[in-house]
Structure 1
């Protein structure tokens, strides 16, 4: 006996109820709910950057050209990767994502560049960590949309230029000063992302809560945004922890009291200061008499990576004035003493160090 495709489909649906020609809602649902906005219209905060990109994208689409190469720099979690996704969506191209440390050899980059289609977007995160030999392959790719191959060696060496499809390179870095001048100058749009205002973070909190299907009142959103260090990534991370607390210990709705109780367990205070921040400040105050202290010395005392302190801890502490950076090193400000409730005259006492540092 032979069966047609319709017979198989009908038999399967009768027996199991899972095979059908129609696309079910479950088929189109993402595996993980993304809190990342997909368009500039959905993007909240950084109004000057959003407006600049909107104009540049509209102009590029009108001319039917790829967008100028874009470089974003700023502390982690402020939306550099999100903006790269938005640029790809707005330009109607595919997004290829990689990072500077992942591109170990020139061949790694060439393999990616030769597979990019017309109008696509290449996003390189932590672009300042790209090896110099790989970086030099980017120069002709960014300027002329071509890469140069060298065959053979010595007197038999010959060069071949391979033409690439026109694309847009989006670079992201937390250390703009470590980028070489030739690479930095090849970007047409350079934008610095700053910490977000509380009003913008409140909007982000409410939008994310709606996507996560959790209720949150205005005082709760305000309190959560106040403790998020001006960073969307942190506000979304803390929101998920507060959501867990509200569903297990509360009534399923996030209030100001819920936020305070949940973040007390996380060690996040009213300024968004974490346990690592407090250890960092107390190290400067107690071990180095309030500073100045070199970052390598602080890193060795804390047994934390220097890059972690420079990229994650220091930007926010500098922003709110708890530390200052001098030519001699880092110093704790008077505000840091007050926030930690440390008496400046007793800061060097050994018994206080033992009781309060770790």
Structure 2
């Protein structure tokens, strides 16, 4: 096991301190919070475990934070793992058998759970029993290990990859949506207060505008802008300081970074607006296909700069305008 350096441990503690601790502290997702509040109060009134919860949505929107909040609001232990770390049925059995009554068991990236292991969760979620095989060969027999009441909270960025039997066993299902400007501005102010950083309204708005609708990105940019303000400014994050810091990071007014623009530029300039295949595009910009598809493409699609077609990726008129290029006259591309 790799040991964290003091700097890495400090950064992890800092990120953890920025997470909201209660539903009241959680900014945005108002409809989701209202529904969860009802479920929480009902479960506490009956003295039962909260029903199993499935949280879906793009990375960085607060799925892990919400899982921790559910445990805190219920006043129960929080146990966390990730689906890729569950390699054998024994791994699941070890976690589930050690849970205290009404605990919250959080599994991140649930869509990466293998089908064989997924079926292990079925009787645990429905009947609070875990089938265990004792012995081998003809003398083997199956016994059911009773489990305490618990809440499985699954988080996924790709809900479409979950099987229907697993998805249907979650009594509470929610999808988190990207945040708007005022919500991200409020998050920046809250995080700045925790970090002990003075942020003016215009500075917070500048950071929020370039945060791609994602609180995790907003917090990351805030920390980099804070560094810039302390080294090259007066220690106060105003609009000019935020813009200068983010320009230094090569993040433009829509939140696109250098590689985002390289992808758009490659499609527009080198391939005439497309269509271009993902593998060709990956080689052109020097990045892995999975990284382009999972990290960069979703936001470019949200911005309306790229289109996915059966023949490949195609740049839109908006992409040309954003890059300051003249769009081709062929209307078929648009």
TM-score by length of 1: 0.85
Distance 1:263 1:202 in 2: 16
| Counterpart among 174, 184, 198 of residue 215 in structure 1 | 198
How far 1:281 sits from its partner (Å)? 1.2
1:187-214 deviation per Cα after TM superposition (whole angstroms, max 9, x unaligned): 1111111110101001001011111111
Distance 1:74 1:329 in 2: 25
How far 1:329 sits from its partner (Å)? 2.9
How far 1:181 sits from its partner (Å)? 1.4
| Counterpart among 211, 219, 222 of residue 239 in structure 1 | 222
Contact 1:75/1:311, CA 8 A, preserved across alignment: no
Change (3 A) 1:329 1:193: farther
Within a 5 Å distance, the mapping from 1:16-35 to structure 2 comes to 32=14, 34-35=17-18
| Counterpart among 26, 40, 45 of residue 23 in structure 2 | 40
| Counterpart among 270, 283, 299 of residue 300 in structure 1 | 283
Q: Is the deviation greater in 102-111 or in 152-161?
A: 152-161
How far 1:346 sits from its partner (Å)? 10
How far 1:319 sits from its partner (Å)? 1.5
Distance 1:148 1:92 in 2: 29
| Counterpart among 121, 133, 137 of residue 120 in structure 2 | 137
Distance 1:51 1:297 in 2: 46
Distance 1:193 1:311 in 2: 17
Change (3 A) 1:325 1:206: same
Match of 1:328 in 2: 311
How far 1:116 sits from its partner (Å)? 0.6
1:301-326 deviation per Cα after TM superposition (whole angstroms, max 9, x unaligned): 33323332222212222222111223
Q: Does 1:54 align with 2:3?
A: no
Q: 5+ residue gaps in structure 2?
A: 1-11
Q: How many residues align?
A: 318
Match of 1:342 in 2: 325
Match of 1:113 in 2: 96
Change (3 A) 1:184 1:31: closer
Contact 1:76/1:311, CA 8 A, preserved across alignment: no
| Counterpart among 164, 178, 181 of residue 198 in structure 1 | 181
Match of 1:23 in 2: none
Runs of 4+ in 1 over 3 A off after TM superposition: 30-33
**Secondary structure of the equivalent of 2:17?**
coil
Change (3 A) 1:292 1:31: closer
Distance 2:36 2:276 in 1: 41
How far 1:332 sits from its partner (Å)? 1.2
Match of 2:74 in 1: 91
Within a 5 Å distance, the mapping from 1:64-75 to structure 2 comes to 64-75=47-58
**Secondary structure of the equivalent of 1:344?**
coil
Match of 1:122 in 2: 105
Distance 2:239 2:203 in 1: 4
Q: Does 1:179 align with 2:179?
A: no
Change (3 A) 1:74 1:307: farther
Whose radius of gyration is greater, 1 or 2?
Answer: 1
TM-score by length of 2: 0.91
How far 1:31 sits from its partner (Å)? 5.5
Within a 5 Å distance, the mapping from 1:275-294 to structure 2 comes to 275-294=258-277
CA RMSD of aligned residues (A): 1.7
Distance 1:328 1:188 in 2: 40
Distance 1:327 1:52 in 2: 39
Contact 1:69/1:187, CA 8 A, preserved across alignment: yes
1:140-172 deviation per Cα after TM superposition (whole angstroms, max 9, x unaligned): 111111110112344322100001111101111
How far 1:72 sits from its partner (Å)? 1.0
Match of 2:140 in 1: 157
